[in-house]
Amino acid sequence: MGMFKVRVAEVLEETSNIKSFRLKRADGAPFDPYPAGAHIDIVGPTDVVRQYSLCSPPYELDDYVIAVKLEPASRGGSQALHEVAVGQELEISAPRNLMAVAEGADRHILVAAGIGVTPMISMAYHLHRANQEFELHYFARSRDEAAFVDLLETKSGFGERVKFHFGLQRDDQPTVLAAAFAALTHRSHVYTCGPEGFMDRVKDTAASVIPEENVHIEHFQAGEPVDTSADTPFEIEFEDEIYEVPVGRSIVQVLEENGVEVDTTCQEGICGTCIMGVLKGEPDHRDQCMSASEKKANDQIAACVSRSKSPRLVLEMF
Ligand code: FES
């Protein structure tokens, strides 16, 4: 994976446990354009690689902004980044996008909880600039614990599109969500990012109004462990070579054992780095990074976790 150096130009305390970092390319050049909702890999000071959404306007390419929440159980990722100071250099990847803004939608509803607001901010900037119909619903335990409130309310230019929901009980969320989705049509799209349980509530409520494939989810942690007791071996064909993937080994592992390098980051099915094309066969999708419609199309696979329902998958590298 191509990585490049950036310099930290600004660090702001957004809340007691969330800091934002403004990054500039170390060589002084502007960044390449990227789609709203994209994320980057960051190699932190302890060499831990983590994914963070870009939350700056996607059309302003002098800098990238990310926000990092200090995780209490941090294994060196968020904690080390919270100690990074202005002027320090970090390594990042080019942006990747797993939650693109849908073309041709009549309405977009962005629904975020907590730090999940970050990809929604760049999407909101994009939608506002493109003059699209949208709303951003932002759930947080309290105003003090919500990052970027001031930016969203007054500086973003789309404050009237943002609905804050502070301190709401979990049981009350479906009612608020149902009201937010009441006017949606089959051409409307819902995007969500936040804790898994919250995103499940958004998905369930939205899917009773719009097609399930119009609900887009951004995962930042692996899902529940999959039952692997019925796993069987299968074959993969890649560049005219055939390899067997035994039980307990992944496609990525088998390819790498055979000298084929596959880019990976999370190895847990959440970042999308390892996605390969499927030319033939039916994948058994076990990732959290592809949408329901992408999985249904069966033409891509997250090779670090997913397996096969058919005896053989014919794969290509993107
Ligand atoms: S390496 Fe992250 S999804 Fe496979």
- Residue 278's CATH number: 3.10.20.30
**Shared-domain flag, residues 186 and 153:** yes
Q: Is residue 226 part of a domain?
A: no
Q: For the chain, what is the domain count?
A: 3
Of 41, 1, 5, which Cα lies nearest the Cα of 23? Answer: 5
H or E element that contains 120: helix 117-129
Q: Is residue 51 part of a domain?
A: yes
**Shared-domain flag, residues 296 and 248:** yes
**Shared-domain flag, residues 195 and 278:** no
Angle between helices 196-207 and 173-181 (to 10 degrees): 40
Residue 67: CB atoms within 10 A of its CB come to 21
Q: Is 262 in the pocket of ligand 1 (CB under 6 A)?
A: no
* CA dist., res. 164 & res. 153, Å (int): 9
Single residue among 218, 248, 283 that ends a domain in this structure? 218
Residues of the chain predicted below pLDDT 70:
1, 73-76, 221-225
**Shared-domain flag, residues 258 and 212:** no
Q: Report CA 105 to chain centroid distance, whole Å.
A: 20
**Shared-domain flag, residues 266 and 190:** no
Q: Is residue 254 part of a domain?
A: yes
**How buried is 262 (Cβ within 10 angstroms: 0-12 exposed, 13-18 middle, 19+ buried)?**
buried
Which residue's C-alpha comes closest to atom 3 of ligand 1? 269
Nearest ligand 1 atom to alpha carbon 264: 1
Place of tokens 């592992």: 253
* CA dist., res. 185 & res. 199, Å (int): 20
H or E element that contains 41: strand 39-43
Give 3-state DSSP helix, strand, coil % of the chain, rounded to 5: 25, 30, 45
**From ligand 1's centre to the CA of 264, what distance in Å?**
5
Single residue among 49, 66, 93 that ends a domain in this structure? 93
Predicted pLDDT at 76:
63
Q: Is residue 99 part of a domain?
A: no
**Shared-domain flag, residues 211 and 238:** no
**Shared-domain flag, residues 70 and 123:** no
Q: What is the CATH number of the domain that holds 66?
A: 2.40.30.10
Nearest ligand 1 atom to alpha carbon 288: 3
**Shared-domain flag, residues 208 and 307:** no
Q: Is residue 228 part of a domain?
A: no
**Shared-domain flag, residues 125 and 61:** no
Kindly report the average pLDDT of the chain as a whole number: 92
Predicted pLDDT at 203:
93
Structural domain of 123: 107-218
Single residue among 218, 252, 279 that ends a domain in this structure? 218
Classified as helix, coil or strand, 1 is: coil
**From ligand 1's centre to the CA of 83, what distance in Å?**
27
Q: What is the CATH number of the domain that holds 208?
A: 3.40.50.80
Of 106, 125, 267, which Cα lies nearest the Cα of 187? Answer: 106
Classified as helix, coil or strand, 155 is: helix
Q: Is residue 253 part of a domain?
A: yes
Predicted pLDDT at 227:
80
**Shared-domain flag, residues 182 and 115:** yes
Q: Is residue 102 part of a domain?
A: no
CA angle 34/82/48 to nearest 5° reads 70
Q: Is 273 in the pocket of ligand 1 (CB under 6 A)?
A: yes
**Shared-domain flag, residues 75 and 116:** no
Classified as helix, coil or strand, 24 is: strand
Q: Is residue 63 part of a domain?
A: yes
**Shared-domain flag, residues 187 and 272:** no
Q: DSSP string spanning 246-279?
A: -TT--HHHHHHHTT-----SSSSSSS-TTEEEEE
**How buried is 293 (Cβ within 10 angstroms: 0-12 exposed, 13-18 middle, 19+ buried)?**
middle
**From ligand 1's centre to the CA of 282, what distance in Å?**
19
Place of tokens 């080994």: 249
